[in-house]
Amino acid sequence: MNDLSSLRAVYDGRLLTEPADMAPFLTDWRGKWTGRAWAVAQPDTAGQVAAIVRWCHARRIPVVPQGGNTGLSGGATPDDSGAALLLSLRRLRRVREVDPLNNTMTLEAGLTLLEARQVAQSAGRLFPLSLAAEGSCTIGGNLATNAGGVQVLRHGNARELCLGLEVVTAEGELWSGLRGLRKDNTGYDLRDLYIGSEGTLGVITAAVLKLVPPPAAQVAAFVAVASPADAVELLQRAQAALGPRLTACELVSDVCLGLVERHMPACRSPLARRSPWYVLIELSEPRDEAAALAALASLLGDALEAGRVQDAAVSSSLAQFKALWALRENVSEAQGAEGRTIKHDIALPISRLADFITRTDAAIAARWPGLRLVTFGHLGDGNLHYNVSPPADRCGPAGSADAAWFLSHEADLNRLVHDAVAALGGSISAEHGLGVLRRDEAARYKSPVERALQAALKQALDPSGIMNPGKVM
């Protein structure tokens, strides 16, 4: 049934079947999940994608779509049955259109986010999606997982940056919804249904993405605050004073800063004294840097005077701007260098965020003394990477007794954190999606009505259940 010659007959692109060729596609980049596939298809066009899915649909062969394979939730790794075809979209790499006057570009799914940003830049525009994996994650994957990142406060998630989609349906038909329109009320919102569905309803092959004029100047401030509550107060103050010129507002704990300084010797706090928490503020100006610096100075002056801020350093060059951002962007890697990590990608109403940190920190400290809380994230979006590291004296490598002890508490720790999130009206997956990692937990926190609605949508758009089975649902 799964005969390769009949699949080879429907498209003339790449088809990998040798274990060594397939291996890079069958393990996620962190090595957390490994699966099997009977083949890896690498089509070159959307038409080829449709032919492959049509072929799989006729034979009820599961299809696992994959972009840059940089996901954090196991959404792009097949299970270990070996029944699935892995469908890599990385060779769909055409720039279909760039329209600076409409502030849009139409790209195929396999371009990386970095390439997408470069296409925008060449047209004198900014594509504002920005995240750590941008050199290897793809536009298709960004949309399939509704990626977030550091500019969501101002520009929204991947969802908000997409005007139109081209999708191969679960039955192998090509839907062209590549509309470059800000307004279109002509039926149900298919676009937003496919965005964030992690390849379980169809395959995104191209998208119309929003562009914005690039800012003329960007400045950043690294600000010491006494508590999460003061960090939230500073956010509110910055929103009022700067309006949409506030383009990022990130939270970093002193534990995080300490790890970055330990593992990245080039990274140093610009402040003379330590503080339990820091806020990184980024301000973008359409015209000139002087106005940006003046606005930032005025904001920080007011906050210092009100006693809600302890100290602050403001960037006065691009190098300094990058150095301040490096303190935030290196947290995840620095934590990784410290041994195993347990990660939580959670979102909360911003009004509950400080309360959440205080109470959950205390609950964890009471139950597991010595565990280190490595808390940072996108304050302006209410999105915390509420991560946990083992005690400093129990950081043994993978496979050690220390690591086994630490990971034996993972399920209980997840339960404690996610119960607290749910109790405050939050989300247990803010920007990383469900994949297999959070699938069952997500179901636990959803009402029966919501689970039934989700199942009805899956059934409607993928009636034979071949699209990325076992993910999300």
- Return the residues of window 319-378 that contact a copy of itself according to CB under 8 A: 347-352, 378
Q: How far is the CB of 56 from a copy of itself (least distance, A)?
A: 18
In terms of CB distance, is 117 or 378 closer to a copy of itself?
A: 378
Buried b (16+ CB within 10 A) or exposed e, 114-127: ebbbebbeebebbb
As measured in angstroms, the least distance from the Cβ of 334 to a copy of itself is: 23
Cα distance between residue 418 and residue 195, in whole Å? 24
Q: In the complex with a copy of itself, which residue's Cβ is closer, 392 or 456?
A: 456
46 binds a copy of itself per the rule CB under 8 A: no
In one-letter notation, the amino acid at residue 453 is L
Binding-site residue total for a copy of itself (CB under 8 A)? 95
Dihedral pair phi/psi, residue 387, rounded to 5°: -95, 160
Q: For residue 14, with 0-12 CB atoms within 10 Å meaning exposed, 13-18 middle and 19 or more buried, which class applies?
A: middle
Among 84, 231, 242, 323, binds a copy of itself (CB under 8 A): 242
Instruction: Scan residues 14-43 and list those touching a copy of itself (CB under 8 A).
Output: none
- Quote the tokens at residue 357: 């940190």
| String marking each residue 275-304 x if it binds a copy of itself according to CB under 8 A | ---------xxxx-------x---------
Residue 470: DSSP 8-state: T
Task: Between 220 and 348, name the residue whose CB sits nearer to a copy of itself.
Answer: 348
Pick from 28, 108, 329, 381: which binds a copy of itself (CB under 8 A)?
381
> How many whole angstroms separate alpha carbon 311 and alpha carbon 387?
26
Closest distance between a copy of itself and the C-beta of residue 213, in Å? Answer: 5
Which residues have C-beta within 8 Å of that of residue 376, sequence separation ≥ 6? 250, 251, 252, 253, 256, 328, 331, 384, 385, 387
- Where are the strands (E) in 244-288, listed by range? 246-253, 277-285
CB of 140 to a copy of itself, least distance (A): 16
Footprint (CB under 8 A) of a copy of itself, residues 122-161: 145-146, 148, 152-154, 156-157, 159-160
CB 173 within 8 A of CB 191: no
- DSSP codes, 351-389: HHHHHHHHHHHHHHHHHSTTPEEEEEEEGGGTEEEEEEE
Which residue is listed with tokens 């609605």?
A: 453
**What's the closest the beta carbon of residue 279 comes to a copy of itself, in angstroms?**
15
Site for a copy of itself (CB under 8 A): which residue of 5, 183, 399, 408?
183
H helices of 151-271, in order, are 152-155, 190-194, 228-242, 254-263
Q: What 3-state class would DSSP assign to 59?
A: helix
Applying CB under 8 A, does 71 fall inside the site for a copy of itself?
A: no
Residues 6+ apart with CB under 8 A from 170: 53, 57, 201, 202, 461, 462, 463, 464, 466, 467
Instruction: Identify the DSSP state of 431.
Output: S
266 binds a copy of itself (CB under 8 A): no
Q: Which is nearer to a copy of itself, 123 or 264 (CB)?
A: 123
Binder of a copy of itself out of 1, 5, 20, 188 (CB under 8 A): 188
Which of 91, 136, 180, 391 is the binder for a copy of itself (CB under 8 A)?
180
Which of 86, 295 has the CB closer to a copy of itself? 295
Indicate whether 169 belongs to the interface with a copy of itself (CB under 8 A). yes
In the complex with a copy of itself, the residue whose CB is nearer, 308 or 352, is 352
Choice from 175, 321, 368, 405 touching a copy of itself (CB under 8 A): 175
Of 280 and 348, the one with the shorter C-beta distance to a copy of itself is 348
Q: Which is nearer to a copy of itself, 174 or 407 (CB)?
A: 174
In the range 416-435, which residues lie near a copy of itself by CB under 8 A?
A: 425-434
| Strands 104-108 and 202-210, bridge-based pairing | antiparallel
**Contact (CB, 8 A) for 279 and 223:** yes
Least separation in angstroms between residue 85's CB and a copy of itself is: 22
